[in-house]
Amino acid sequence: MGLLTINALVAAPEVLIPIQCEYYALEGVSQLMRNIEMVKAHLNPELEVTTVILTMYDGRTKLADQVAEEVRRYFGSKVLRTVIPRSVKVSEAPGYSMTIIDYDPGSRGAMSYLDASRELADRDRPSAGRGRQ
């Protein structure tokens, strides 16, 4: 883990983890969680993983379903219901220095990112009658 990542984890109150629905991503998440726990234990006791989003999901493969299931089992309600599908358009957008929303706003990938952002915003919205303090 690099110095910039450590500094970000020290300064941040929470972490959002994007996870590709691929085998090696699970190994990377294990290492990331160890690093987060180390930062939490020694430098930022308030640090929490609050959100996990599944990306590059290909529903045609068993592997994607297995990875999604494993991630949901480990992280529980922290995993967004919305998944970001594997998409050529999402892969092409950075090559044009564009977000998927700018590159192809009607694509499945763009719609999924918008759905995920709405879901995340709804999670952070205080319930009726209760304000944030």
* Residue 57: other Cβ atoms inside 10 A: 22
Alpha helices in the chain (DSSP H): 3-11, 23-42, 62-75, 88-92, 100-103, 108-124
Asked if residue 59 is part of any domain, the answer here is yes
By DSSP bridging, strand 48-57 and strand 79-85 are parallel
Residue 130 binned pLDDT confidence (cut-offs 50, 70, 90): very low
Asked if residue 39 is part of any domain, the answer here is yes
- pLDDT tens per residue, range 74-104: 999 999 999 999 999 999 999 999 999 999 9
Number of separate domains in the chain? 2
Looking at residue 1, its pLDDT comes to 79
The verdict on 71 and 115 lying in the same domain is no
Is the pLDDT reported for residue 26 higher than 50? Answer: yes
Residue 116 belongs to domain spanning:
87-125
Asked if residue 3 is part of any domain, the answer here is no
The verdict on 17 and 49 lying in the same domain is yes
Output the average pLDDT for the chain.
93
Looking at residue 72, its pLDDT comes to 97
